[in-house]
Protein backbone atom coordinates (compact mmCIF):
# COMPACT_ATOMS: atom_id res chain seq x y z
CA UNK A 1 0.00 0.00 0.00
CA UNK A 2 1.06 3.53 -0.60
CA UNK A 3 -0.73 4.83 2.45
CA UNK A 4 -0.44 3.64 6.00
CA UNK A 5 2.23 1.45 7.45
CA UNK A 6 3.18 -2.03 6.44
CA UNK A 7 2.47 -3.90 9.67
CA UNK A 8 -0.86 -4.37 11.38
CA UNK A 9 -1.24 -2.91 14.84
CA UNK A 10 -3.18 -5.91 16.08
CA UNK A 11 -3.30 -9.36 14.56
CA UNK A 12 -5.77 -11.97 15.77
CA UNK A 13 -5.53 -15.52 14.45
CA UNK A 14 -7.64 -18.60 15.02
CA UNK A 15 -9.06 -17.28 18.26
CA UNK A 16 -11.67 -19.37 20.09
CA UNK A 17 -12.92 -19.26 23.63
CA UNK A 18 -15.08 -21.86 25.32
CA UNK A 19 -16.90 -21.66 28.63
CA UNK A 20 -16.86 -25.38 29.35
CA UNK A 21 -19.04 -26.91 26.67
CA UNK A 22 -20.41 -23.55 25.62
CA UNK A 23 -18.82 -21.64 22.76
CA UNK A 24 -18.04 -17.99 23.50
CA UNK A 25 -16.43 -17.26 20.18
CA UNK A 26 -14.92 -19.50 17.58
CA UNK A 27 -12.24 -19.28 14.89
CA UNK A 28 -11.89 -15.50 14.71
CA UNK A 29 -9.03 -14.06 12.66
CA UNK A 30 -8.46 -10.46 11.54
CA UNK A 31 -5.85 -7.72 11.29
CA UNK A 32 -6.36 -4.16 12.48
CA UNK A 33 -4.21 -1.49 10.84
CA UNK A 34 -3.11 1.80 12.34
CA UNK A 35 -5.84 4.43 12.09
CA UNK A 36 -8.54 1.86 11.42
CA UNK A 37 -11.79 1.50 13.32
CA UNK A 38 -13.45 -1.91 13.22
CA UNK A 39 -16.98 -2.53 14.43
CA UNK A 40 -18.21 -5.82 15.83
CA UNK A 41 -21.98 -6.23 15.56
CA UNK A 42 -24.41 -8.99 16.37
CA UNK A 43 -27.25 -9.73 18.76
CA UNK A 44 -26.83 -10.32 22.49
CA UNK A 45 -25.06 -13.60 23.13
CA UNK A 46 -23.32 -13.63 19.76
CA UNK A 47 -19.88 -13.55 21.36
CA UNK A 48 -18.98 -9.88 20.86
CA UNK A 49 -17.94 -9.20 24.41
CA UNK A 50 -16.11 -12.53 24.76
CA UNK A 51 -14.10 -11.63 21.67
CA UNK A 52 -13.40 -8.13 22.97
CA UNK A 53 -12.23 -9.46 26.33
CA UNK A 54 -9.92 -11.97 24.67
CA UNK A 55 -8.28 -9.47 22.33
CA UNK A 56 -7.90 -6.78 24.98
CA UNK A 57 -5.80 -8.93 27.28
CA UNK A 58 -8.53 -9.41 29.86
CA UNK A 59 -9.25 -13.08 29.27
CA UNK A 60 -6.90 -15.63 27.73
CA UNK A 61 -8.56 -17.41 24.78
CA UNK A 62 -8.83 -21.21 24.85
CA UNK A 63 -6.93 -21.34 21.56
CA UNK A 64 -5.52 -18.83 19.14
CA UNK A 65 -3.18 -15.90 19.15
CA UNK A 66 -3.47 -12.16 19.76
CA UNK A 67 -0.46 -10.15 18.65
CA UNK A 68 0.07 -6.45 19.18
CA UNK A 69 2.69 -4.32 17.49
CA UNK A 70 4.62 -2.99 20.47
CA UNK A 71 6.69 0.17 20.18
CA UNK A 72 9.93 -1.67 20.82
CA UNK A 73 9.63 -5.24 19.57
CA UNK A 74 7.07 -5.25 16.77
CA UNK A 75 4.35 -7.91 16.79
CA UNK A 76 4.28 -9.73 20.12
CA UNK A 77 1.84 -12.31 21.45
CA UNK A 78 0.11 -10.54 24.33
CA UNK A 79 -0.54 -13.75 26.24
CA UNK A 80 3.12 -14.74 26.15
CA UNK A 81 4.24 -11.50 27.74
CA UNK A 82 4.75 -11.27 31.45
CA UNK A 83 1.80 -10.04 33.48
CA UNK A 84 3.75 -6.83 34.17
CA UNK A 85 4.39 -6.17 30.49
CA UNK A 86 0.76 -6.76 29.63
CA UNK A 87 -0.43 -4.44 32.39
CA UNK A 88 1.96 -1.76 31.20
CA UNK A 89 0.54 -2.09 27.70
CA UNK A 90 -3.00 -1.74 29.04
CA UNK A 91 -2.04 1.41 30.93
CA UNK A 92 -0.15 3.11 28.12
CA UNK A 93 -0.87 1.97 24.57
CA UNK A 94 -4.39 0.72 25.12
CA UNK A 95 -7.63 2.16 26.35
CA UNK A 96 -10.82 0.35 27.26
CA UNK A 97 -14.13 2.18 27.30
CA UNK A 98 -16.80 0.19 29.13
CA UNK A 99 -20.49 0.35 28.44
CA UNK A 100 -21.08 1.24 32.07
CA UNK A 101 -18.76 4.11 33.00
CA UNK A 102 -18.75 2.85 36.59
CA UNK A 103 -16.64 -0.08 35.40
CA UNK A 104 -14.05 2.22 33.87
CA UNK A 105 -13.95 5.08 36.38
CA UNK A 106 -12.81 5.25 39.95
CA UNK A 107 -16.01 6.40 41.57
CA UNK A 108 -14.36 7.41 44.84
CA UNK A 109 -12.11 10.13 43.42
CA UNK A 110 -12.83 13.39 41.57
CA UNK A 111 -13.09 13.80 37.79
CA UNK A 112 -9.69 15.50 37.72
CA UNK A 113 -8.12 12.71 39.75
CA UNK A 114 -9.59 10.08 37.45
CA UNK A 115 -7.54 11.58 34.66
CA UNK A 116 -4.49 12.45 36.75
CA UNK A 117 -4.29 8.90 37.99
CA UNK A 118 -3.80 7.48 34.49
CA UNK A 119 -1.06 10.06 33.87
CA UNK A 120 0.70 9.22 37.12
CA UNK A 121 0.54 5.54 36.23
CA UNK A 122 2.73 6.31 33.23
CA UNK A 123 5.17 8.37 35.24
CA UNK A 124 3.84 11.94 35.32
CA UNK A 125 4.78 13.57 38.63
CA UNK A 126 4.43 17.34 38.21
CA UNK A 127 1.11 18.39 39.75
CA UNK A 128 0.67 21.54 37.65
CA UNK A 129 1.31 19.69 34.39
CA UNK A 130 -1.02 16.87 35.34
CA UNK A 131 -3.74 19.36 36.15
CA UNK A 132 -3.20 21.22 32.86
CA UNK A 133 -3.37 18.01 30.84
CA UNK A 134 -6.47 16.93 32.72
CA UNK A 135 -8.05 20.33 32.02
CA UNK A 136 -7.16 20.10 28.38
CA UNK A 137 -8.75 16.66 28.02
CA UNK A 138 -11.87 17.55 29.96
CA UNK A 139 -12.25 20.49 27.56
CA UNK A 140 -11.87 18.18 24.55
CA UNK A 141 -14.70 15.98 25.75
CA UNK A 142 -16.85 19.09 26.40
CA UNK A 143 -16.82 18.56 30.12
CA UNK A 144 -17.79 21.46 32.35
CA UNK A 145 -14.54 22.38 34.09
CA UNK A 146 -16.39 23.67 37.15
CA UNK A 147 -17.14 20.04 37.91
CA UNK A 148 -13.53 18.90 37.78
CA UNK A 149 -13.27 18.44 41.54
CA UNK A 150 -16.58 16.64 41.91
CA UNK A 151 -17.09 12.91 42.27
CA UNK A 152 -18.24 10.96 39.17
CA UNK A 153 -21.28 9.69 41.09
CA UNK A 154 -22.71 13.23 40.92
CA UNK A 155 -22.53 13.28 37.09
CA UNK A 156 -25.11 12.28 34.51
CA UNK A 157 -24.54 9.10 32.48
CA UNK A 158 -23.38 11.11 29.46
CA UNK A 159 -20.89 13.10 31.53
CA UNK A 160 -19.56 9.95 33.14
CA UNK A 161 -19.07 8.41 29.72
CA UNK A 162 -17.19 11.48 28.44
CA UNK A 163 -15.03 11.41 31.54
CA UNK A 164 -14.28 7.75 30.96
CA UNK A 165 -13.25 8.51 27.39
CA UNK A 166 -10.96 11.34 28.53
CA UNK A 167 -9.43 9.05 31.17
CA UNK A 168 -8.69 6.50 28.47
CA UNK A 169 -7.25 8.86 25.88
CA UNK A 170 -5.11 11.03 28.11
CA UNK A 171 -2.11 8.72 27.88
CA UNK A 172 -2.19 8.81 24.08
CA UNK A 173 -3.06 5.15 23.47
CA UNK A 174 -2.70 3.69 20.00
CA UNK A 175 -5.59 1.28 20.35
CA UNK A 176 -8.90 1.73 22.14
CA UNK A 177 -11.41 -1.02 22.82
CA UNK A 178 -14.99 0.12 23.24
CA UNK A 179 -17.84 -2.01 24.52
CA UNK A 180 -21.17 -0.42 23.59
CA UNK A 181 -19.78 3.06 24.27
CA UNK A 182 -23.14 4.74 23.73
CA UNK A 183 -25.19 1.90 25.20
CA UNK A 184 -27.05 3.36 28.14
CA UNK A 185 -27.35 6.94 26.89
CA UNK A 186 -30.35 8.77 25.50
CA UNK A 187 -30.18 9.58 21.81
CA UNK A 188 -29.23 13.27 21.98
CA UNK A 189 -26.32 12.44 24.27
CA UNK A 190 -25.43 9.51 22.01
CA UNK A 191 -25.19 11.77 18.97
CA UNK A 192 -22.93 14.16 20.83
CA UNK A 193 -20.70 11.35 22.02
CA UNK A 194 -20.50 9.76 18.59
CA UNK A 195 -19.56 13.07 17.08
CA UNK A 196 -16.84 13.41 19.70
CA UNK A 197 -15.53 9.90 19.05
CA UNK A 198 -15.45 10.49 15.31
CA UNK A 199 -13.48 13.66 15.78
CA UNK A 200 -11.00 12.13 18.23
CA UNK A 201 -10.42 9.13 16.03
CA UNK A 202 -9.75 11.35 12.99
CA UNK A 203 -7.59 13.88 14.83
CA UNK A 204 -5.49 11.42 16.80
CA UNK A 205 -5.29 8.72 14.14
CA UNK A 206 -6.49 6.23 16.74
CA UNK A 207 -7.26 2.62 16.00
CA UNK A 208 -10.30 1.23 17.70
CA UNK A 209 -12.41 -1.88 18.03
CA UNK A 210 -15.99 -0.99 18.81
CA UNK A 211 -18.50 -3.56 19.94
CA UNK A 212 -22.05 -2.41 19.41
CA UNK A 213 -25.47 -3.78 18.63
CA UNK A 214 -26.42 -0.43 17.09
CA UNK A 215 -25.82 -0.48 13.33
CA UNK A 216 -26.18 3.31 13.11
CA UNK A 217 -23.30 3.69 15.54
CA UNK A 218 -21.28 1.26 13.45
CA UNK A 219 -21.99 3.21 10.27
CA UNK A 220 -20.96 6.48 11.83
CA UNK A 221 -17.65 5.56 13.40
CA UNK A 222 -16.29 2.38 11.84
CA UNK A 223 -14.68 1.64 8.48
CA UNK A 224 -14.85 -2.12 8.66
CA UNK A 225 -17.41 -4.41 10.16
CA UNK A 226 -17.51 -7.95 11.52
CA UNK A 227 -20.93 -9.53 11.94
CA UNK A 228 -21.06 -12.18 14.65
CA UNK A 229 -23.60 -14.87 15.26
CA UNK A 230 -23.45 -17.71 17.75
CA UNK A 231 -19.78 -17.09 18.40
CA UNK A 232 -18.70 -17.01 14.77
CA UNK A 233 -17.88 -14.17 12.42
CA UNK A 234 -20.35 -14.73 9.58
CA UNK A 235 -19.45 -11.72 7.45
CA UNK A 236 -16.74 -9.09 7.27
CA UNK A 237 -16.14 -6.18 4.95
CA UNK A 238 -16.26 -2.44 4.52
CA UNK A 239 -18.91 -1.07 6.86
CA UNK A 240 -20.95 0.63 4.16
CA UNK A 241 -20.80 -2.47 1.95
CA UNK A 242 -21.91 -4.83 4.72
CA UNK A 243 -24.76 -2.51 5.67
CA UNK A 244 -25.89 -1.61 2.13
CA UNK A 245 -25.32 -5.00 0.50
CA UNK A 246 -25.20 -7.65 3.23
CA UNK A 247 -24.40 -11.12 1.90
CA UNK A 248 -25.03 -13.52 4.77
CA UNK A 249 -28.64 -14.38 5.68
CA UNK A 250 -28.02 -13.26 9.25
CA UNK A 251 -26.50 -9.90 8.21
CA UNK A 252 -29.47 -9.39 5.90
CA UNK A 253 -31.81 -10.09 8.79
CA UNK A 254 -29.96 -7.65 11.06
CA UNK A 255 -29.97 -4.85 8.50
CA UNK A 256 -33.59 -5.39 7.52
CA UNK A 257 -34.67 -5.33 11.15
CA UNK A 258 -33.65 -1.71 11.74
CA UNK A 259 -36.57 0.56 12.39
CA UNK A 260 -36.56 3.65 10.21
CA UNK A 261 -37.53 6.96 11.75
CA UNK B 1 -1.68 -5.00 -4.70
CA UNK B 2 -4.18 -7.70 -5.41
CA UNK B 3 -4.19 -7.06 -9.12
CA UNK B 4 -1.37 -7.17 -11.62
CA UNK B 5 -2.25 -8.08 -15.15
CA UNK B 6 -2.73 -6.68 -18.62
CA UNK B 7 -2.57 -2.95 -18.26
CA UNK B 8 -3.90 -1.80 -21.64
CA UNK B 9 -2.74 1.75 -22.02
CA UNK B 10 -1.82 4.19 -19.35
CA UNK B 11 -4.41 6.75 -20.36
CA UNK B 12 -7.23 4.37 -19.50
CA UNK B 13 -8.08 5.09 -15.89
CA UNK B 14 -11.13 2.92 -15.33
CA UNK B 15 -12.03 -0.29 -17.08
CA UNK B 16 -14.86 -2.59 -16.22
CA UNK B 17 -15.07 -6.08 -17.71
CA UNK B 18 -18.02 -8.45 -17.73
CA UNK B 19 -19.38 -7.18 -14.48
CA UNK B 20 -22.29 -9.07 -12.95
CA UNK B 21 -24.30 -8.36 -9.86
CA UNK B 22 -27.35 -9.93 -8.33
CA UNK B 23 -29.01 -9.66 -4.97
CA UNK B 24 -29.94 -12.87 -3.18
CA UNK B 25 -32.61 -12.10 -0.59
CA UNK B 26 -32.14 -14.96 1.83
CA UNK B 27 -34.95 -13.96 4.12
CA UNK B 28 -37.48 -13.50 1.35
CA UNK B 29 -37.58 -17.02 -0.03
CA UNK B 30 -34.05 -16.66 -1.46
CA UNK B 31 -35.46 -14.44 -4.21
CA UNK B 32 -32.83 -13.43 -6.73
CA UNK B 33 -32.74 -9.96 -8.26
CA UNK B 34 -30.34 -9.71 -11.15
CA UNK B 35 -29.28 -6.10 -11.68
CA UNK B 36 -26.13 -6.17 -13.82
CA UNK B 37 -25.03 -8.66 -16.44
CA UNK B 38 -21.95 -8.50 -18.60
CA UNK B 39 -21.27 -4.79 -18.21
CA UNK B 40 -18.04 -3.53 -19.74
CA UNK B 41 -16.71 -0.02 -20.17
CA UNK B 42 -13.50 1.98 -20.41
CA UNK B 43 -12.74 5.53 -19.38
CA UNK B 44 -9.89 7.73 -20.38
CA UNK B 45 -8.82 10.99 -18.91
CA UNK B 46 -11.37 13.70 -19.84
CA UNK B 47 -14.19 11.23 -20.57
CA UNK B 48 -17.66 11.77 -19.19
CA UNK B 49 -19.62 8.55 -19.49
CA UNK B 50 -23.33 9.00 -18.87
CA UNK B 51 -25.37 5.98 -17.81
CA UNK B 52 -28.63 6.09 -19.64
CA UNK B 53 -31.79 4.12 -19.07
CA UNK B 54 -35.07 3.91 -17.16
CA UNK B 55 -35.17 3.47 -13.42
CA UNK B 56 -34.47 -0.11 -12.44
CA UNK B 57 -31.88 -0.46 -15.20
CA UNK B 58 -29.06 -0.78 -12.66
CA UNK B 59 -27.41 2.63 -13.14
CA UNK B 60 -26.98 3.42 -9.45
CA UNK B 61 -26.04 -0.18 -8.73
CA UNK B 62 -23.25 0.05 -11.28
CA UNK B 63 -21.88 3.19 -9.62
CA UNK B 64 -22.10 1.53 -6.22
CA UNK B 65 -20.29 -1.58 -7.48
CA UNK B 66 -17.51 0.60 -8.88
CA UNK B 67 -17.24 2.42 -5.55
CA UNK B 68 -17.13 -0.89 -3.67
CA UNK B 69 -20.35 -0.11 -1.85
CA UNK B 70 -22.03 -3.11 -3.49
CA UNK B 71 -20.24 -6.40 -3.80
CA UNK B 72 -19.90 -7.53 -7.41
CA UNK B 73 -20.43 -11.22 -8.16
CA UNK B 74 -18.03 -11.56 -11.07
CA UNK B 75 -16.01 -9.54 -13.52
CA UNK B 76 -13.45 -6.85 -12.89
CA UNK B 77 -13.50 -3.18 -12.05
CA UNK B 78 -10.01 -1.85 -12.48
CA UNK B 79 -9.17 1.65 -11.33
CA UNK B 80 -5.78 3.28 -11.81
CA UNK B 81 -4.76 4.26 -8.33
CA UNK B 82 -1.44 6.06 -7.88
CA UNK B 83 -0.43 4.77 -11.29
CA UNK B 84 -1.19 1.15 -10.37
CA UNK B 85 -4.23 -0.82 -11.51
CA UNK B 86 -6.39 -2.00 -8.61
CA UNK B 87 -9.27 -4.42 -9.11
CA UNK B 88 -12.03 -3.18 -6.85
CA UNK B 89 -13.79 -6.56 -7.04
CA UNK B 90 -10.81 -8.44 -5.60
CA UNK B 91 -9.30 -5.67 -3.44
CA UNK B 92 -9.22 -5.89 0.34
CA UNK B 93 -11.35 -3.39 2.30
CA UNK B 94 -8.16 -1.55 3.17
CA UNK B 95 -7.22 -1.16 -0.49
CA UNK B 96 -10.74 -0.01 -1.36
CA UNK B 97 -10.51 2.64 1.36
CA UNK B 98 -7.20 3.84 0.00
CA UNK B 99 -8.65 4.11 -3.52
CA UNK B 100 -11.64 6.03 -2.15
CA UNK B 101 -9.42 8.38 -0.21
CA UNK B 102 -7.24 9.40 -3.13
CA UNK B 103 -8.70 8.35 -6.45
CA UNK B 104 -12.40 7.73 -6.47
CA UNK B 105 -14.98 10.35 -5.48
CA UNK B 106 -18.66 9.54 -5.20
CA UNK B 107 -21.56 11.94 -4.96
CA UNK B 108 -24.69 10.10 -3.92
CA UNK B 109 -28.18 11.30 -4.63
CA UNK B 110 -28.81 12.21 -1.02
CA UNK B 111 -26.58 13.57 1.67
CA UNK B 112 -26.00 11.11 4.50
CA UNK B 113 -26.38 13.49 7.39
CA UNK B 114 -24.01 13.12 10.30
CA UNK B 115 -25.68 14.28 13.52
CA UNK B 116 -24.40 17.54 14.96
CA UNK B 117 -21.58 18.09 12.47
CA UNK B 118 -21.53 21.61 10.98
CA UNK B 119 -21.93 21.98 7.22
CA UNK B 120 -18.45 23.44 6.80
CA UNK B 121 -16.95 20.39 8.53
CA UNK B 122 -19.11 17.96 6.56
CA UNK B 123 -17.60 19.46 3.41
CA UNK B 124 -14.05 19.66 4.80
CA UNK B 125 -14.07 16.07 6.04
CA UNK B 126 -12.68 14.37 2.90
CA UNK B 127 -9.71 16.75 3.00
CA UNK B 128 -9.16 16.12 6.70
CA UNK B 129 -9.16 12.39 5.97
CA UNK B 130 -6.40 12.95 3.43
CA UNK B 131 -4.44 14.60 6.22
CA UNK B 132 -4.95 18.28 5.36
CA UNK B 133 -4.67 20.68 8.28
CA UNK B 134 -8.06 21.80 9.67
CA UNK B 135 -7.82 25.52 8.80
CA UNK B 136 -6.84 24.94 5.20
CA UNK B 137 -9.46 22.23 4.79
CA UNK B 138 -12.13 24.67 6.04
CA UNK B 139 -10.91 27.40 3.65
CA UNK B 140 -11.23 25.03 0.71
CA UNK B 141 -14.64 23.92 1.93
CA UNK B 142 -15.73 27.57 2.19
CA UNK B 143 -14.68 28.27 -1.40
CA UNK B 144 -16.72 25.32 -2.61
CA UNK B 145 -19.78 26.27 -0.55
CA UNK B 146 -19.59 29.83 -1.93
CA UNK B 147 -19.48 28.49 -5.46
CA UNK B 148 -22.57 26.41 -4.85
CA UNK B 149 -24.39 29.36 -3.29
CA UNK B 150 -24.83 27.82 0.13
CA UNK B 151 -25.34 30.93 2.32
CA UNK B 152 -22.63 31.53 4.89
CA UNK B 153 -25.13 31.74 7.75
CA UNK B 154 -25.79 28.01 7.26
CA UNK B 155 -22.19 26.86 7.43
CA UNK B 156 -22.09 26.48 11.18
CA UNK B 157 -25.34 24.53 11.25
CA UNK B 158 -25.73 20.80 10.73
CA UNK B 159 -27.44 20.17 7.37
CA UNK B 160 -30.16 17.90 8.81
CA UNK B 161 -32.83 20.63 8.62
CA UNK B 162 -31.78 22.11 5.26
CA UNK B 163 -33.99 21.92 2.19
CA UNK B 164 -33.46 19.11 -0.32
CA UNK B 165 -31.64 21.42 -2.72
CA UNK B 166 -29.40 22.82 0.01
CA UNK B 167 -28.50 19.34 1.20
CA UNK B 168 -27.73 18.30 -2.33
CA UNK B 169 -25.41 21.28 -2.79
CA UNK B 170 -23.63 20.45 0.48
CA UNK B 171 -23.24 16.91 -0.81
CA UNK B 172 -21.81 18.12 -4.13
CA UNK B 173 -19.43 20.49 -2.34
CA UNK B 174 -18.23 17.56 -0.25
CA UNK B 175 -17.72 15.46 -3.37
CA UNK B 176 -15.86 18.13 -5.34
CA UNK B 177 -13.72 19.64 -2.59
CA UNK B 178 -11.03 17.03 -3.12
CA UNK B 179 -9.20 16.47 -6.40
CA UNK B 180 -10.25 12.96 -7.28
CA UNK B 181 -9.10 11.76 -10.72
CA UNK B 182 -12.32 9.75 -11.07
CA UNK B 183 -15.77 10.95 -10.03
CA UNK B 184 -18.98 8.94 -9.78
CA UNK B 185 -22.04 11.17 -9.83
CA UNK B 186 -25.50 9.84 -9.03
CA UNK B 187 -28.00 12.47 -10.15
CA UNK B 188 -26.25 15.41 -8.58
CA UNK B 189 -28.57 17.95 -10.19
CA UNK B 190 -31.97 16.39 -9.50
CA UNK B 191 -33.06 18.88 -6.79
CA UNK B 192 -31.32 22.01 -8.09
CA UNK B 193 -32.63 25.20 -9.65
CA UNK B 194 -31.25 26.42 -12.97
CA UNK B 195 -28.50 28.63 -11.51
CA UNK B 196 -27.08 25.90 -9.35
CA UNK B 197 -27.44 23.33 -12.09
CA UNK B 198 -25.24 25.56 -14.28
CA UNK B 199 -22.68 25.75 -11.47
CA UNK B 200 -22.56 21.97 -11.20
CA UNK B 201 -22.17 21.62 -14.96
CA UNK B 202 -19.27 24.09 -14.77
CA UNK B 203 -17.68 22.14 -11.92
CA UNK B 204 -17.87 18.89 -13.88
CA UNK B 205 -16.50 20.56 -17.01
CA UNK B 206 -13.55 21.93 -15.05
CA UNK B 207 -12.84 18.48 -13.65
CA UNK B 208 -12.89 16.97 -17.11
CA UNK B 209 -10.68 19.70 -18.52
CA UNK B 210 -8.21 19.02 -15.71
CA UNK B 211 -8.00 15.41 -16.85
CA UNK B 212 -10.43 13.64 -14.54
CA UNK B 213 -12.87 11.01 -15.74
CA UNK B 214 -16.53 11.08 -14.76
CA UNK B 215 -19.26 8.44 -14.74
CA UNK B 216 -22.61 10.03 -14.12
CA UNK B 217 -26.35 9.62 -14.03
CA UNK B 218 -28.23 12.73 -15.12
CA UNK B 219 -31.93 12.56 -15.78
CA UNK B 220 -31.99 16.11 -17.05
CA UNK B 221 -31.52 15.84 -20.80
CA UNK B 222 -29.90 19.21 -21.15
CA UNK B 223 -27.27 18.35 -18.52
CA UNK B 224 -26.71 14.98 -20.13
CA UNK B 225 -26.28 16.41 -23.62
CA UNK B 226 -23.85 19.04 -22.47
CA UNK B 227 -21.63 16.79 -20.39
CA UNK B 228 -21.66 13.35 -22.00
CA UNK B 229 -18.72 12.38 -24.16
CA UNK B 230 -19.99 8.78 -24.16
CA UNK B 231 -23.29 7.08 -23.38
CA UNK B 232 -23.86 3.66 -21.89
CA UNK B 233 -27.41 2.51 -22.54
CA UNK B 234 -28.78 0.25 -19.86
CA UNK B 235 -32.09 -1.61 -19.61
CA UNK B 236 -33.72 -3.57 -16.79
CA UNK B 237 -32.75 -7.22 -16.98
CA UNK B 238 -35.50 -9.71 -17.72
CA UNK B 239 -35.80 -12.99 -15.87
CA UNK B 240 -33.55 -15.53 -17.51
CA UNK B 241 -35.79 -17.78 -19.63
Cα–Cα–Cα angle for B195, B126, B148, rounded to 5 degrees: 10
Q: Which residues of A touch B115 (CB under 8 A)?
A: 191, 194-195, 220
Residue A236: band (very low, low, confident or very high) from pLDDT cuts 50, 70, 90? very high
Q: What is the pLDDT of residue A1?
A: 37
A121: confidence class by pLDDT, cuts 50, 70, 90: confident
Segment A180-188 mean pLDDT: 80
| Pairwise CB contact (< 8 Å): A3 & B128 | no
Average pLDDT, chain A: 90
| pLDDT (tens digit per residue) in B3-44 | 444 566 778 999 999 999 999 999 999 999 999 999 999 999
Instruction: Name the residue among B23, B68, B101 with its Cβ closest to that of A238.
Output: B68
- The pLDDT tens digits of the residues spanning B147-176 come to 999 999 999 999 988 999 999 999 999 999
Q: Are strands A22-32 and B84-87 parallel, antiparallel or unpaired?
A: unpaired
What percentage of chain A exceeds 70 in pLDDT?
97
The proportion of chain B whose per-residue pLDDT surpasses 90, expressed as a percent, equals 83
- Tell me which chain B residue has its CA closest to the CA of residue A4: B98
Is residue A256 less than 8 Å (CB to CB) from chain B?
yes
Q: Quick check: A118 and A191 in contact, CB under 8 A? A: no
**A6-58 pLDDT, tens digit each:** 789 999 999 999 999 999 999 999 999 998 999 999 988 899 999 999 999 99
Query: Taking residues A236-258, what's their average pLDDT?
Result: 94
Q: How far apart are CA A29 and CA A61, in angstroms?
A: 13
Average pLDDT, chain B: 92
* Partners of B81 in beta bridges: B84
Return the pLDDT at B101: 92
CB A182 within 8 A of CB B115: no
Q: Give CA–CA dist B41/B17, Å, rounded.
A: 7
Q: A 24-53 residues with CB below 8 A of B?
A: 33, 36
The answer on pLDDT for A192 being more than 90 is no
Average pLDDT over residues A101-128: 91
Residue A198 in contact with partner chain B when CB distance is under 8 A = yes
Q: What is the mean pLDDT of residues A199-203?
A: 79
More confident residue, B179 or A141: B179
Count of residues in chain A: 261
Q: For chains A and B, what is the number of CB pairs under 8 angstroms? A: 63
pLDDT surpassing 70 at residue A208: yes
Does the distance separating the beta carbons of B23 and A245 come in below 8 Å?
A: yes
Q: B82 exposed, middle or buried (CB, 10 Å; 0-12, 13-18, 19+)? A: middle
A213: confidence class by pLDDT, cuts 50, 70, 90: confident
* Whole-angstrom distance, CA of residue A62 vs CA of residue A173: 27
Q: Which of A33, A236, A238 should one mutate to test binding to chain B, selecting the residue with the greatest count of B CBs within 10 A?
A: A238
Using CB atoms, pick whichever of A194, A224, A241 lies closest to residue B115: A194
**Selected residue of A1, A11, A36 to mutate for chain B interface (largest B Cβ count, 10 A):** A1
Q: Quick check: B138 pLDDT over 80? A: yes
pLDDT bucket at A190, cuts 50 / 70 / 90: confident
Is B97 in Cβ contact with A252 (below 8 Å)? no
Residue A106: CA atoms inside 13 Å, Cβ hemisphere, count? 13
Greater confidence, B90 or A140?
B90
Chain B interface, Cβ < 8 Å to A: 23-27, 64, 68-71, 82, 93-98, 101-102, 114-117, 125, 128-129
The verdict on a CB contact (< 8 Å) between A4 and B98 is yes
pLDDT digits (tens, 9 = 90+) for A72-91: 888 999 999 999 999 889 88
pLDDT recorded at residue A122: 83
Beta bridge partners of B36: B21
Decide if pLDDT at A206 tops 60: yes
Shortest distance between the Cα of A10 and any Cα of chain B, in A, equals 15
Q: A223 and B70: CB-CB below 8 Å?
A: no
**Searching chain B, which residue's CA lies closest to the CA of residue A225?**
B93
Listed in sequence order, the DSSP H helices in chain A are 48-55, 83-92, 101-104, 111-121, 127-140, 157-169, 187-204, 215-221, 239-244, 249-256
Residue of B114 and A65 predicted with greater confidence: A65
Separation CA A118–CA A106 (nearest Å):
11
ipTM (interface pTM): 0.91
Contacting residues of B for A224, CB less than 8 Å apart? 93
Largest Cα separation within chain A, whole Å, is: 56
Amino acid sequence: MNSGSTAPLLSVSGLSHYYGAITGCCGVSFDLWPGEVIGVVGESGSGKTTLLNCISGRMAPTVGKVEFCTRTEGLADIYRMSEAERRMLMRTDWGFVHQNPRDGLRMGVSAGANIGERLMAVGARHYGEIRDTANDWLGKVEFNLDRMDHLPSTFSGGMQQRLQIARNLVTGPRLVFMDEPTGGLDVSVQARLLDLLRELVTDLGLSAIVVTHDLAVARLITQRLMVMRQGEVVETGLTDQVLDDPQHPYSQLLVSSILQV
Amino acid sequence: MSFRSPDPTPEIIVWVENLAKQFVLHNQGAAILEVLRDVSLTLRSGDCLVLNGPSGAGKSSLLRCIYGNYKSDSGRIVVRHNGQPVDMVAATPREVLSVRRQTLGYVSQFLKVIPRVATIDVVAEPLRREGMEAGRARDNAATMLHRLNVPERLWKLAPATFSGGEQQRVNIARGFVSDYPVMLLDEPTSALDATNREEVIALVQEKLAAGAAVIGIFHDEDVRDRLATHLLNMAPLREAA
